Structure 1
Amino acid sequence: MMLSNSEKVDFTASSDKVCVIQARDLSLQFGDKVLLNHLDIDIHAGEVTALLGPNGAGKSTLLKVLCGEIKPKSGTVSFFDQPLNNWAREELACHLGVLPQHSALSFAFTAKEVVELGAIPLQLTSPELKEATASSMQYVDINNLAKRLYPTLSGGEKQRVHLARVLTQLSKAGDKCILMLDEPTSALDLAHQHHTLQIAQNMAMQGAAVIVVLHDLNLAAQYTDRMIFLNEGEIKADGTPTEVLTPKIIDTLYGWPVSVHTHPTGDFPYLLSANHSVF
């Protein structure tokens, strides 16, 4: 069941924060499948924005278009009021860090050497590289993996190593910092799921614009400032967790009933779902 035009929710997040990414009229199609349908979006500094929605909704596709990995059929993307196509790749790499769902790396590097790869665009001195790498590894809590060969790591450990690599890449971003995370918690245990999203939250508090693709609605409700629900390449709901996490929106987009409550120890909503027969 999809939202009709008369039912479509349009909670546009109001913010007086700086608009870092501006995308207009983004369209993309693969065969008969519409991936993005004339989509407009603004992303602000100092916020964690979650891209959510059912499988195939266009979340990862939108992220790839925003970072320039995929070129849209039509539309424009600008970073800091400058068209994305006008950015020199080397300069952009100093301000934009992207953590993909999967990172293809099979060389027998140590985890520390993988983290050091993040510094390639920065032209750091040896002491600066050592400091940036050590800081990122400590922040992500992977010092114990430093000498491990990357191919021997578990999926979750690899994910954390690449997060440290991206943080190293952004260590000199200054006040122009964009962090994009595509399902960063998918392979992580409970503690590291929270730790990763705490890092994203802290980056935003320091002024970064953070976009994260998530499937776990409860994690998104706890750690993000703004939730954008996509389906069939369109924005179906856009607002704070309290505004958009409603039983009607979730049932309409996901086809599954939920009840929404206020978390007993925090001022954010959480969802409970169960077998249809329970409701």
Structure 2
Amino acid sequence: MIHHVVRQRSKPTAGMRSAISAEGLHLSLGGKTLLDNLSISFHGGELTALLGPNGAGKSTLLKVLCGEVQSKGDVYFFGEKRQQWAPAALAKHLGVLPQHSSLSFGFTAQEVAELGTMPLGLKQNDSQRLAQKMMTNVGIAHLGQRLYPTLSGGEKQRVHFARVLAQLSEAGERCVLMLDEPTSALDLAHQHSCLRLAKERAAQGAAVILVIHDLNLAAEYADRLVLLNQGKIQADGDAWHTLTAENIQSVYGSPVMIESHPRGHFPVVLSA
């Protein structure tokens, strides 16, 4: 049986620091229900991992929240409906790192990172300095003059991470960072580096929403884990409440064992 540890909230309320709130999201395509009357809130200062099997609705939820895909229901950013936000204004507070990028122009990595500064209206020198700073933070300053199409998949992913961080550099605590499988093309060291940066942004007040398949990375870094299945929230809470053997068996159909990490206070998921 699935354990429900649901923390759903329909609208932002005072004192809860709700950055995004969604209610009644429903989306069906080709006879398949992708989101099933889903309601959820995300909060500043919190890194939330969206988990679930393929087709559970993780990336779809992210796309609906940011407005890339339309659905039934309402989405609020900082207490105002998303439709009330001018795109240029929202771009200063919402940054999205997609799973894939189709960019194929012969830009340098530095120029791609600078694209993130466009909503900020900076002078060219300031834009360049900000992009360079974010590339340094992501560990790719040495790639600045490389042509973007010549980079590996993981390097491209990190360039876009720098771009999004630059875009949100003036957001303050009214900041939402959405990451759709940001570690999928990264090696082990850069996976941890990426998630540490995401965790730092949450510690600085951002609402960070992370789509990820690696349950153990989610357990290590996320403050909150939301387990989705067939467009519904099946479990929502901290790692110990969400990543139970019963929940994982029910949602993924795979038997597992749950152990405690020897040096951390988080669960480790092992094949049974």
Question: Where do 5+ consecutive residues of structure 1 fail to align?
Answer: 274-278
Say which SS state the counterpart of residue 26 (structure 2) adopts: strand
Determine the structure 2 residue equivalent to 1:69.
Answer: 68
* 1:88 aligns to 2:86 (yes or no): yes
Determine the structure 2 residue equivalent to 1:276.
Answer: none
Say which SS state the counterpart of residue 266 (structure 1) adopts: coil
Q: Give, in angstroms, the shift of residue 128 of structure 1.
A: 2.1
For the 8 Å contact 2:20–2:76, the answer to whether it is kept is yes
Q: Give, in angstroms, the shift of residue 11 of structure 1.
A: 3.5
For the 8 Å contact 1:13–1:240, the answer to whether it is kept is no
Q: How many equivalent residue pairs?
A: 268
Determine the structure 2 residue equivalent to 1:21.
Answer: 20
Determine the structure 2 residue equivalent to 1:118.
Answer: 116
* 1:198 aligns to 2:196 (yes or no): yes
The correspondence of residues 1-279 of structure 1 with structure 2, limited to 5 A, is 7-12=2-7, 17-72=16-71, 74-273=72-271, 279=272
Q: Give, in angstroms, the shift of residue 134 of structure 1.
A: 1.7
* Rounded Cα–Cα distance in structure 1 between residues aligned with 2:21 and 2:178: 15
Runs of 4+ in 1 over 6 A off after TM superposition: none
Amino acid at match of 2:188: L
* Rounded Cα–Cα distance in structure 1 between residues aligned with 2:23 and 2:152: 39
Question: Where do 5+ consecutive residues of structure 2 fail to align?
Answer: 10-14
1:28-85 superposed Cα distances (whole Å, 9 cap, x missing partner): 000210000000000000000011000000000000000111110x100000000000
Among all aligned residue pairs of Structure 1 and Structure 2, give the percentage whose two residues are the same amino acid: 57
* Rounded Cα–Cα distance in structure 2 between residues aligned with 1:221 and 1:260: 11
* Rounded Cα–Cα distance in structure 2 between residues aligned with 1:85 and 1:115: 27
Q: 1:264 to 1:17 in 2, by over 3 A?
A: farther
For the 8 Å contact 2:172–2:205, the answer to whether it is kept is no
TM-score, normalising length: structure 1 = 0.93
Q: 1:236 to 1:104 in 2, by over 3 A?
A: same
For the 8 Å contact 1:9–1:238, the answer to whether it is kept is yes
For the 8 Å contact 1:54–1:253, the answer to whether it is kept is yes
Q: Give, in angstroms, the shift of residue 8 of structure 1.
A: 4.9
Say which SS state the counterpart of residue 45 (structure 2) adopts: coil
1:74-117 superposed Cα distances (whole Å, 9 cap, x missing partner): 10000000000010000010110000000110101110000001
* Rounded Cα–Cα distance in structure 2 between residues aligned with 1:8 and 1:190: 31
* Rounded Cα–Cα distance in structure 2 between residues aligned with 1:245 and 1:212: 16
Q: Give, in angstroms, the shift of residue 13 of structure 1.
A: 7.8
Two-structure CA RMSD over aligned residues (Å): 1.5
For the 8 Å contact 1:241–1:268, the answer to whether it is kept is yes
Q: Give, in angstroms, the shift of residue 12 of structure 1.
A: 2.1
* Rounded Cα–Cα distance in structure 1 between residues aligned with 2:100 and 2:3: 33
